[in-house]
Amino acid sequence: MDSIELLRDFSADYFEARERFCESANAVGAELVRYPITVDQSLSIDVAIVNARASRQRLVVSSGVHGVEGPLGSAIQLSMLRMLHQSELPDDLGYTLIHSINPFGYAHHRRWNEENVDLNRNFKCSSNTYSGCPAGYKNFESVLNPKTAPSRLEPFRVKAFWNIALHGVQAIKEAVATGQYEYPQGLFYGGRAECFSSRIVRENFHTWMGESDEIVHLDVHTGLGRFADYRLLLEYPPGAPAVAWFRELFGRPIVEDGGSHPTSYDARGTFGLWAMADQASLDYRFATVEVGTHPIVRVLAALRAENRAHHYASSSSDIEWARQELRECFCPTSPKWRRKVLADQMKVVQRCAQQLKKAVGNRSEVVGSC
Ligand SMILES: [Zn+2]
């Protein structure tokens, strides 16, 4: 795939991305299902299902759980649909592409959803409740969530560097990003109850998997890690079969399991933990794709400024600069970044598809027909 084509797969905004996704899904004969969100019916989660009943092996790619991170996931999905159209991906596999799980966040350039909720802290397994807050978060709360409009002159980055020097980057990540359920206007808020998007996913996930019972699922995120580098973050314990499967394909440095934390951190209520429990009876492997952008302090400063602007800014110019910086932090405008990360991720997709295709050969039994 040439680099001009890859650059074109990044859409200008949510609406363009959704339109292109649906057109491309129709072109390959996918089943297309739309779920408009309650607060704004012009926004929707869209799901394309290819070979719903013809294959026991399925590759799932989901995008936009963290709205503003949607552009890369959407570009990957668009590239996949074009490759399917050009027979550059195995056509005897099933594919499920879940477009923009948080459409409000994607459309409004927010990581959070219409209720200020971080959806990746809102998927609940039965043992979890929507309550609690890490002690570390409480210590940082007033610094993270000032109840005033943001200022471009404020020395947040200096303070953040000082805190990181004092406590270490991992301690800050664990304290801040693992999720909290006590500050509804704060960063990384997991909500009081299941949100619309989480419910739609929970109620329909089985249907989206068609008749497949061997599934690899890549959930695409950006904003954490070295610029234009990527990791596959697994929430399985070390030694789990899924860890071995991903490690064999991608090698140890790329694949981080639940016991290693160079890029990842433990979070509650994640999409992955929920999906792994929900699909436990199947051969189901979930990985969070995390693609690095700018340094963590810049990303955190951008999240903090945008959240303040959303809740407290009175001038549209304050909101606009905060949003623009947030977009840059989660999908850099650099053509070099865009070309590299999309080319890398298409290799990840192709490698997963080829590995699943080997299983098609081993298990020739086909369920139903398309
Ligand atoms: Zn994310």
Dist. CA 63 → ligand 1 center (Å): 9
CA of 112 to the centre of ligand 1 (A): 10
* Residue 42 to residues 25, 35, 105, 177, Cα–Cα distance (Å): 19, 10, 13, 30
What distance in Å separates the CA atoms of residue 111 and residue 362, rounded to the nearest whole number? 42
CA 155 – CA 29 distance, rounded (Å) = 53
158: pLDDT strictly greater than 70: no
Secondary element (H or E) of residue 347? helix 335-362
Show me where the domains of the chain are located: 3-123+190-293+331-362, 135-178+297-327
* Of 229, 283, 228, 227, nearest in space to 256 by CA: 229
Give the residue among 206, 208, 203 at the shortest CA–CA distance from 49. Answer: 208
pLDDT band at 166 (very low <50, low <70, confident <90, very high): low
Flag whether pLDDT at 368 surpasses 80.
Answer: no
* For ion ligand 1, residues whose CB falls within 5 Å: 66, 69, 221
Q: How far is CA 139 from the centre of its chain?
A: 28
Question: In sequence order, what are the residues at sequence separation of 6 or more whose Cβ sits closer than 8 angstroms to the Cβ of residue 45?
Answer: 34, 35, 37, 98, 99, 100, 101, 103, 197, 200, 201
Ligand 1 center from residue 264 Cα (angstroms): 11
3-123+190-293+331-362 folds as Aminopeptidase (3.40.630)
The tens digit of pLDDT for each residue in 211-268 reads 999 999 999 999 999 999 999 999 998 889 999 999 999 998 999 987 666 665 667 8
| Sheet with strand 31-36: strands edge to edge | 31-36, 44-50, 94-99, 57-62, 214-222, 283-291, 230-233, 255-256
- 232 three-state secondary structure: strand
Please write the tens of the pLDDT for every residue from 180-221.
999 999 999 999 999 999 999 999 999 999 999 999 999 999
14 Cα–ligand 1 center, Å = 16
Task: Give 71 Cα–ligand 1 centroid separation in angstroms.
Answer: 12
Residue 82, token pair as written in the block = 């074009």
| Ligand 1 centroid – CA 222 distance (Å) | 6
* pLDDT tens digits, 282-335: 999 999 999 999 998 899 889 999 999 999 988 888 889 999 999 999 999 999
* Mean pLDDT of all residues in 24-47: 97
> Residue 141 is inside which H or E element, if any?
helix 135-144
Tell me the pLDDT of the chain averaged across its residues: 90
